[in-house]
């Protein structure tokens, strides 16, 4: 192991790996140190149930990565390193208790025709959204793809005002500030259409009535209609394996099973790190911590030297947790609503905005929701290589789930320890799927349940099982992610930077935080 690098990166999540690739391409020698046994953070693929069944541990959707500025810059090299995507034309759907369903696909007219089955007025509203999406997307993606610095975002605002006018710019701003319910009820009359799109807010922590949450259902529905979705061929770890190989080609090193205990400071400047075994590694130019704000404070022994900054890091708020259920199946679910659902990457069980709002409030109150939102991923419908011939894997995200259980909203589960209750709560979720896909239980060959606390134990950045590494409510987004004055990853300690999903632009596989930081440090 080298004892000195230009940059040391703490943690080997995808933001870290992207940061290391960009810095390595600029001639920096980078060392990445990860406490877990393998790189990837939440983006990794494991045989969790039976041999030959490959399950994405947490993240499955790689569309943000494929559409990122980082991939545009480095995609050719990553493909040479083995990166391979599996595209999905049938992206996501929702099923309802009345036996109906609605799905978003890329095929010409497919989605519109399905929406028209619920409401012709809503089909016309969908047409209008699709027509105006390209010009809105230009500005929204520019917002999300640039550093959250006033001079940069100010130029973007000035450009919008000059080219599009005040009314158009104000309406776009209103969309960015709206709640999912406000946007969806203004746009559509059908409860099923609203629920199908609104489910995307629950992938983050944007329940229907959370201000600022509308942009996620809007972007996901429009982008999936326009571009489709991609997952990783063979598993999401195609990304982490390709990134890791590219880092090594550029002269960098990745050390897994090496926990960083503290940041070394000399004269108020970060000069390296000390590992848990006492080994000290020097950083000539930068120490980059891909950690949650609470993790940063641990690396600094509880104090950065700036009490105001420390207070903001300690006050950083996390979203409710997630429980994951991984199933090895003898066949795909037989969806009661339609055989067509077997071809979709995601099937949501989230029947109404009101139910989603109730689920969120129950979780925030510490209750196991009586009817959690389920994101049922069917990766082998898109990529059969993840399972033995004729077999399948199911990836079930149970949203929302409290980290600390105070009770059960249904009054059926008495325990409050996740290790004791996770199997029973998984039974509830599987029973929900069974209502829509009779016979599912008989198809299960193997099962692995991962509680919110299991997620945190594997990756300390997922505090309380918070898969999005911090709430995305307006008070903790944009200029305030992770805190005002620090959206670029700057800390009060010279030479020390924070990156990852807790930093602007936030959660997902778009690696924006790591890429933008590397461009800043490396001089673009």
In order, the DSSP letters of 197-246 are HHGGGGGTT--TT-TT-THHHHHHHHHHHHH-EEEETT-THHHHHHHHHH
Question: Contact at 8 Å (CB) between 381 and 345?
Answer: yes
- Whether the model clears a pTM of 0.85, i.e. scores above it, the answer is yes
**pLDDT score, position 152:** 87
* Mean pLDDT, residues 441-454: 98
- Of 13-17, 137-141, 195-199, 271-275, the poorest mean pLDDT is in 137-141
CA distances from 243 to 70, 284, 291, 322 (A): 11, 23, 19, 27
H helix or E strand, kind and range, residue 92: strand 90-95
Dihedral angle of Cα 425, 429, 432, 437, to the nearest 10 degrees: -140
Tens-digit pLDDT profile for residues 51-104: 999 999 999 999 999 999 999 999 999 999 999 999 999 999 999 999 999 999
**pLDDT score, position 205:** 94
Q: State in Å, rounded, how far the first CA of the chain is from the last one.
A: 29
pLDDT interval class at 231 (50, 70, 90): very high
**pLDDT score, position 524:** 58
CA distances from 11 to 176, 200, 259, 295, 396 (A): 31, 28, 9, 11, 26
Tens-digit pLDDT profile for residues 277-301: 999 999 999 999 999 999 999 999 9
Average pLDDT of every residue of the chain: 97
Neighbours of 146 (CB within 10 A): 17
pLDDT at 376 over 80: yes
* Mean pLDDT, residues 209-223: 97
Cβ partners under 8 Å of residue 133, min gap 6:
222, 226
- In the DSSP assignment, the letter for residue 59 is -
Question: Contact at 8 Å (CB) between 345 and 377?
Answer: yes
**pLDDT score, position 151:** 84
Distance CA 311, CA 313 (A): 5
Q: Report the percentage of the chain scoring pLDDT > 70.
A: 100
The number of CA neighbours under 13 Å toward the Cβ of 462 is: 29
Tokens of 136: 């809105």
The number of CA neighbours under 13 Å toward the Cβ of 145 is: 15
Question: Contact at 8 Å (CB) between 102 and 118?
Answer: yes
H helix or E strand, kind and range, residue 154: helix 150-164
**pLDDT score, position 1:** 67
DSSP H helices in 6-149: 14-25, 63-66, 69-80, 110-116, 120-144
Question: Contact at 8 Å (CB) between 229 and 61?
Answer: yes
pLDDT at 474 over 70: yes
Tokens of 113: 């025709």
Peptide bond into 505 cis (omega under 30): yes
């Amino acid at each position: 192991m080298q004892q000195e690098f230009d940059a040391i990166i703490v943690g080997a999540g995808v933001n870290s790996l992207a940061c290391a690739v960009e810095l390595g391409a600029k001639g920096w020698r980078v060392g990445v140190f990860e406490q877990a046994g393998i790189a990837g953070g939440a983006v990794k693929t494991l045989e969790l149930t039976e041999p030959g069944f490959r399950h994405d541990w947490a993240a499955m959707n790689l569309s943000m990565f494929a559409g990122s500025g980082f991939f545009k810059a480095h995609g050719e090299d990553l493909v040479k390193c083995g990166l391979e995507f599996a595209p999905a034309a049938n992206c996501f759907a929702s099923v309802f208790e009345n036996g109906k369903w609605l799905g978003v696909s890329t095929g010409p007219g497919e989605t519109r025709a399905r929406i028209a089955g619920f409401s012709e007025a809503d089909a016309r509203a969908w047409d209008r959204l699709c027509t105006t999406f390209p010009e809105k997307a230009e500005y929204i993606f520019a917002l999300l793809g640039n550093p959250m610095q006033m001079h940069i975002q100010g130029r973007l605002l000035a450009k919008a005002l000059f080219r599009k006018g005040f009314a158009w710019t104000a309406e776009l701003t209103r969309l960015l500030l709206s709640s999912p319910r406000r946007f969806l009820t203004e746009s559509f009359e059908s409860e099923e259409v609203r629920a199908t799109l609104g489910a995307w807010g629950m992938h983050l922590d944007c329940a229907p009535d959370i201000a600022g949450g509308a942009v996620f259902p809007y972007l996901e529905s429009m982008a999936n209609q326009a571009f489709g979705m991609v997952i990783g061929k063979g598993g999401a770890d195609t990304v982490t394996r390709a990134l890791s190989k590219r880092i090594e080609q550029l002269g960098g090193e990745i050390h897994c099973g090496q926990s960083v205990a503290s940041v070394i400071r000399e004269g108020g400047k970060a000069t390296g790190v000390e590992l848990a075994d006492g080994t000290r590694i020097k950083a000539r130019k930068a120490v980059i911590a891909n950690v949650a704000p609470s993790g940063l404070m641990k690396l600094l022994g509880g104090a950065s030297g700036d009490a105001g900054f420390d207070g903001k890091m300690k006050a950083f708020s996390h979203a409710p947790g997630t429980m994951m259920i991984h199933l090895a199946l003898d066949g795909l679910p037989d969806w009661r609503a339609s055989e067509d659902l077997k071809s979709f990457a995601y099937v949501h069980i989230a029947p109404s905005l009101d139910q989603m709002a109730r689920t969120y409030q129950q979780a925030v109150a510490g209750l196991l929701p009586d009817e959690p939102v389920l994101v049922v991923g069917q990766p082998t419908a898109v990529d059969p290589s993840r399972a033995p011939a004729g077999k399948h894997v199911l990836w079930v995200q149970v949203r929302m789930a409290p980290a600390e259980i105070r009770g059960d909203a249904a009054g059926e589960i008495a325990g409050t320890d996740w290790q004791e209750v996770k199997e029973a709560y998984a039974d509830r979720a599987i029973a929900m799927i069974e209502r829509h896909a009779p016979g599912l239980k008989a198809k299960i060959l193997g099962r692995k349940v991962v509680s919110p606390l299991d997620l945190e134990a594997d990756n300390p950045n997922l505090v309380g099982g918070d898969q999005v590494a911090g709430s995305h409510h307006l008070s903790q987004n944009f200029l305030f992610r992770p805190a005002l004055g620090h959206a670029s990853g700057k800390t009060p300690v010279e030479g020390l930077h924070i990156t990852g999903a807790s930093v602007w632009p936030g959660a997902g596989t778009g690696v924006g935080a790591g890429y933008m930081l590397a461009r800043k440090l490396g001089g673009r």
